[in-house]
Structure 1
Amino acid sequence: MTDLTLLGISGSLRREATNRKLMREAARLFAPDRFIEADLNLTLYDGDNEKADGIPAEVQALADQIAAADAVVISTPEYNKGPSGVLKNALDWVSRTKGKPWADKPVAVMSAAAGRSGGERSQAALRSFLVPFQPRLLTGPEVHLADSSNQFDDQGQLISEQYTATLQRLMDKLRAEALR
């Protein structure tokens, strides 16, 4: 059996964000040998700063984590019908690093939001943001966790069997892609 490393990326910085909980639940269901949570608390991208100072160490660390992972799971909130600025900023920064850390990387995308669509629009936008990087982006099953603040128990596990089953299918597909 191959040892697998899963990198989790939450588009929310809040410690108890529902997207962070969904990402951790995905990792539990994926059951990697090693799970790493990315830190997106990065300085805002500015081309002048990049020219003057180069790539910040924390950005390079994120790019290295992406490159080294066997698979990546991203959970995005929906802010004003799109992904968070934090997540977009991280993608912009990583695109400036050497090499192509996302190329051919198995990636699963999901979303959690307060509204009844569960972040569907933010997830669609995020998928379009990832296309230029040419990952092996899974097309489904789609996980759009609606009313997300009411979907987890005190241990951070999903309470809905339907959401859990869908997330398990997505993680099974991600594992299969990582092993391919």
Structure 2
Amino acid sequence: MTVAKPQIGVIVGSNSKTSINKQLAHGLVNLVQDQADFEFLDLSALPFYNRDDDADAYPAAFTAFKDKVRSKNGILFVTPEHNRSVPAYLKNALDGGSRPYGSGAWNGIPAGIIGTSTGGPATSMAQQHLRNILVFLDMPAMAQPEGFIRWTDGLVSADGKVAEASEKFLRNYMERFLAWVAQHPKK
């Protein structure tokens, strides 16, 4: 009997064309691509969340996004830090994906949080803020290992290969994340 690979959604919290977090996400996926099926969930088509839509016809883009989220066994968040918090781009997806009340897509889906920045503390504050949000959304988030990655040139090549100096840590992170997903099946 073959066991189905876990279905993992990857959400990059940046809409920058040259996002180092998007590069990191591709590198992470490449390290364990034989162990799970990964899908990058695109946030760019999502409208700005408006509570008024809860009572009206909910935006089709959010409905489609929520369906994709619900189809996943786990979600990997790869996020930059903006002003010591999560980017508005990511927060909008979290908010819209949780509404209307009682029909949120996130409930019970295990999550991993990692991110990179050129600064010393990397994305530690954004990740902590994201953890607080995920608690409210009922998403069990992996606590260890933490992934505050300081970006350096060559960390991930243009073709998605992780530098040898970081490969062991990042592979361990991803293997631990996949184990977390297996240990916390979504509700």
TM over 0.5: yes
Aligned-residue identity in percent: 24
Counterpart residue number, 2:67: 64
Say if 2:117 is the partner of 1:113: yes
Structure 1 residue 50, shift from structure 2 partner: 4.0
How far did residue 109 of structure 1 move? 0.3
Superposition deviation, residue 150 in structure 1: 5.0
Please give the per-residue CA displacement for 1:62-81, whole angstroms capped at 9, x wherever unaligned. Answer: 21111111111001111111
* Structure-2-length-normalised TM-score: 0.85
Asked if 1:5 corresponds to 2:7, the answer is yes
**1:89 and 2:96 correspond:** no
Matching of residues 68-147 of structure 1 within 5 Å:
68-97=71-100, 99-147=103-151
> Is there any run of 5+ residues in structure 2 with no aligned partner, and where?
none
Whether 2:172 is the aligned partner of 1:175: answer no
Name the Cα RMSD after superposition. 1.9
- Segments of 4+ moved more than 4 angstroms: none
Aligned partner letter, 2:43: L
Q: Which range moves more in the overlay, 122-131 or 24-33?
A: 24-33
Quote the offset at 1:100 in angstroms: 4.0
CA distance in 1, matches of 2:152, 2:72: 27
CA–CA separation in structure 2 for the residues paired with 1:130 and 1:155:
31
Q: Quick check: 1:70–1:105 contact (8 Å CA) kept in 2?
A: yes
Q: Quick check: 2:12–2:22 contact (8 Å CA) kept in 1?
A: yes
Aligned to 1:137, the other structure's residue is in SS state coil
Equivalent position of 1:30 in the other structure: 32
CA distance in 2, matches of 1:127, 1:149: 28
Q: Residue 155 of structure 2 corresponds to which residue in structure 1? A: 151
Partner of 1:21: 23
Write the distance in 2 (CA, Å) between the matches of 1:101 and 1:164: 32
Distance apart, 1:168 and its partner CA: 1.5
Corresponding position of 2:42: 39
For residues 71 and 49 of structure 1, do their structure 2 counterparts lie closer, same or farther at Cα, with a shift above 3 Å needed?
closer
Tell me how far apart the structure 1 counterparts of residues 161 and 83 of structure 2 sit (CA, whole Å). 27
Please, which runs of 5 or more residues in structure 1 have no aligned partner? none
Spell out, residue by residue over 1:74-102, the C-alpha distance to the aligned partner (whole angstroms, 9 max, x if none). 01111111110000011010110453432
Deviation at 1:51, TM superposition (A): 3.0
Q: Distance in 2 between matches of 1:49 and 1:2?
A: 37
- Whether contact under 8 Å (1:112, 1:145) holds in the other structure is yes
- Change in Cα spacing, 1:117 to 1:107, as seen in structure 2 (3 Å) is same
